[in-house]
Amino acid sequence: MYNYKALTDNELFSLIQSGDKYAFEEIYDRFNGLLYIYACKLVSDREDARDIVQEIFVYLWSNPNIKIKSQLSSYLYTAVRYKVFDWLDKNKSKSNYLLSLGNFIEQGNCITEDYIREREFASIIEKEVSLLPAKMRQIFEMSRQQHLSQKEIAEILHLSDKTVKKQMSNALKVLRLKLTSFISLAVILLLR
C-alpha cells in the first residue's frame, strides 16, 4: 500500500492510469479546490465552474491513455482553460439561439398577424373584383393577373384601346371607393 500523500503528482498520475482509485482521490483532493477557484475567475457562475472542474476529473479518470508532457498541474490548469473556452462557445451559441428565439417571439406574432391581414385584404379585393360588371372584371383581371398591356387586352377582346383604358379606370375607381373604408378600419386597428 502506498503513502499517497507522499507521492508526487506525476507518480499519482501514473497510478491513476493503471486504475488506482486512491491515487485519483489524492489528486482530486490536491487540485479540486485550486481548479475550482481558477475556473471561478474565468466563469461568472459558480455552478458552471464546479461543473467544468468535475468534467476535467471525469475525463482524467476515464481516459487512462492521456499523455502528459510536463507537470500534471500544468495539464489540469490548461484543461480547465480549454473547457472554459468550450463552455463560453456553447453559451454563446445558446444565448444567440435564445436571442433569436426572443426576436422571433417578439416579431413572429406581428409577422403572423400581418400575413393574416394581408390574406384577408386579398380576399376582400377578390370579392370586390368578382362583383364588378362582367366586361370590366375581365379587363381588370387580364391587366392585373395576366399582366397584359391595354393594347394586348384590346386586341384579344376586339375592343379599342380607349375602351379598355376607360374600363380599367372605372374598375379602379369602384375598387378604391369600396376598399377605402376597409383600409381606414385596418389603419385604425394597426394604430391601437
Q: Which CATH architecture has domain 4-96?
A: Orthogonal Bundle (1.10)
Pick the CATH number of 131-191 from 1.10.10.10, 1.10.760.10, 3.90.550.10, 3.40.50.720: 1.10.10.10
Q: Residue 145 has what DSSP assignment?
A: T
What is residue 70's DSSP assignment?
A: S
Residues contacting residue 24 through CB under 8 Å, at least 6 positions apart = 12, 16, 57, 60, 61
Q: For residues 169-186, give the mean pLDDT.
A: 75
Mean pLDDT of 152-156: 89
Q: Residue 110: CA atoms inside 13 Å, Cβ hemisphere, count?
A: 6
Domain boundaries, the chain: 4-96, 131-191
Chain segment 62-115, per-residue pLDDT in tens? 988 888 888 888 889 889 988 888 887 777 655 555 555 555 555 554 555 666
Query: What's the Cα-to-Cα distance from 106 to each of 31, 36, 93, 100, 102, rounded to whole Å?
Result: 46, 39, 20, 10, 6
pLDDT tens figures, 113-152:
666 666 777 777 788 888 888 898 898 888 887 888 888 8
